[in-house]
Amino acid sequence: MTDATAYRSMTATTLQTAATVVAGTFLLVGVLGFIPGITTDYDSMTFAGHESNAQLLGIFQVSILHNIVHLLFGIAGLVLATSWNGARAYLIGGGAIYLVLWIYGLVIDQQSTANFVPLNDADNWLHLVLGAGMIGIGLALGRTPRAGDRPGPL
């Protein structure tokens, strides 16, 4: 393998470390969503839809689908964090996805079938903070790579 195509550790650069921490947080949240006690009203959790009354930390409405999405988002982040380009794409692109999800959560009726994830007001505002934070980190740490920071293609 040449330097141009070699993949580095997920912590080879500050940008990759940040993406790894964000991805790890999503994995942790996904797992915690399946733990009774940490998730209140666990026995009312549904696969998807606004009918799920389960709430992570008693605040954020979750469902099985919601937890799986967090797990998949975390796994994607760990995979992408193996390269500088991937880490930057994960933070900026993932942040953009969360901003779209924030807007979606604001415009849908939370009691309708359109709220299939499900989302509540706390989820919506967390999505705004996550989206803006991820994009901010991706832009701040991904502006100009240092020599050798780009280990290869996405």
pLDDT band (50, 70, 90) for residue 2: very low
In this prediction, what percent of the chain has a pLDDT beyond 90? Answer: 72
Q: Assign 3-class secondary structure to the chain.
A: CCCCCCCCCCCCCHHHHHHHHHHHHHHHHHHHCCCECCEECHHHCCCCCCCCCCEECCCEECCHHHHHHHHHHHHHHHHHCCCHHHHHHHHHHHHHHHHHHHHHHHHCCCCCCCCCCCCCHHHHHHHHHHHHHHHHHHHHHCCCCCCCCCCCCC
pLDDT in tens, 71-98: 999 999 999 999 999 999 999 999 999 9
What's the pTM value of the predicted model, to 2 decimals?
0.84
